Amino acid sequence: MAKVTTRLNVAPVPPDEIFALNHAFGIDTHPQKVSLGVGVYRTDDGKPWPLPVVQKAEKELEAASDAFRHEYTAIEGDAPFLPMARDLMFGFEGKPSEEEAKARIATVQTVAGTGANHLGALFLAHHMKPRTVWLSNPSWANHMTIWELAGIPRKTYPYYHASTRAFDFDGMMSSLENDAEEGDVVLLHACAHNPTGLDPNKEQWIAIAELCERKKLFPFFDSAYQGFASGSVEEDAWAVRYFFTAKPDMEMCVAQSFSKNFGLYGDRVGAFHYVTNRASSSLRDVVVNNLCHLIRGEFSMGPRAGTAIVKKVLSDEALVKEWHADLKVMSSRIRSMREALYAELVRLQTPGTWEHIVQQNGMFSYTGLTLKQVYALKDQYHIYLLKSGRASISGLSKKNVAYVAQAIDDVVRNVN
């Protein structure tokens, strides 16, 4: 019998850490187990929270029973959804130059924020051919994978100062100033930096924009937490809107996700926006055309159900007001859990400084715990967080925060 061989040249790749950690948590039977790994919002009871405004929109959509609700959309996406997503991100608010500004933005629907990041990377790889993409160190792990698959060499700029547990603004600026070259892409987190929870302040954002313009770098914003981080969609979009309005001669793009701010994690709602400079706005439709070419070859068009919910909410003034209230509920609970964990660590007189927990912003905290301490938390206390020490604050609750703080206190004192 002839020997059967394969033409495949494959080797195992490391499993995704977050999903592997979530699986390990799922099969753990310990009664006090705590998940601080996956980045999803949870109530104080540790349960998912379908936003009340989303539930209301779903009921209204079900009652309407649109016969076309399962039909195909256009390749570029759901037509009414696209300007709503764009306006939410860029916030025109009836300014005199509104139409001129909108004419600069090419928008398409994507498969959530990950799909927007991937489509943007692929589009730039095909049509701009950057020599390098600069990612923050650290960054969301999937950024590295996305740009690797797009075939663009990756470099990193300093972002986190370990000894002070603070944003390394000077390191970032020095690295980009000295080493980045014209045409390089710079990946920027619009707010609630993942994984550190540390964002530039407004003065620092202004300096970053000046550097990008002067050195002719290409800003690529990842906006995953608009409204979720601070409770204000305007505040969380400040950096994107500043770059857009203050630097009209600079091109840029934005990957926009609705997973966190609408709680539509599994519905995969997102958008990608390519911003031309004001002299090249006539290229907008050509950009959309080329983005559609990539979309057609990958997934044909975006999912429909989730965008119907977003449209329903954003097109109704009363529902928008309810949505803003829901955003404040989520952001306020995250902040209260940061404060509770900090207060417990202070009460326990846990060695070290812990102010960074309340100074950080959004879903995640870079705790400063070492790899050995992270393993000890999992093995001894059944508390799950990433090897980097990144903790999802949403996994904390009034019921478990004292337990988590006591566990951290123990491993900090006894595990080196």
CA distances from 70 to 84, 182, 292, 305 (A): 21, 45, 21, 8
Burial label for 85, CB within 10 Å (0-12, 13-18, 19+), is: buried
Q: Is 222 a catalytic residue?
A: yes
Q: What is the DSSP letter of 74?
A: B
Give the amino acid at 318: A
Q: Is 372 a catalytic residue?
A: no
Report the 10 Å Cβ neighbour count for 34.
26
- Strand, coil or helix: 32: coil
Q: What is the CA radius of gyration of the chain?
A: 22
The single residue listed with the structure tokens 């309810």 is 322
Spot the catalytic one: 56, 260, 311, 312: 260
Spot the catalytic one: 168, 184, 199, 222: 222
Q: Tokens at residue 120, please?
A: 């943007």
Cα atoms found within 13 Å of the Cα of residue 123, Cβ hemisphere only: 30
Cα-based angle 305, 306, 312 (whole degrees, multiple of 5): 95
Nearest to 118 by CA among 301, 363, 298: 298
The single residue listed with the structure tokens 């997934």 is 299
Nearest to 101 by CA among 111, 88, 92: 92
Nearest to 258 by CA among 70, 124, 114: 114
Spot the catalytic one: 140, 147, 205, 354: 140
Q: Is 387 a catalytic residue?
A: no
The single residue listed with the structure tokens 């509770």 is 340
Rounded Cα distance between 377 and 343, Å, is 19
Give the amino acid at 225: Y
Burial label for 46, CB within 10 Å (0-12, 13-18, 19+), is: middle
Rounded Cα distance between 107 and 146, Å, is 20
Report the 10 Å Cβ neighbour count for 235.
12
Q: Tokens at residue 173, please?
A: 């600026």
H/E element holding 147?
A: helix 141-150
Q: Which residues are catalytic?
A: 140, 222, 260
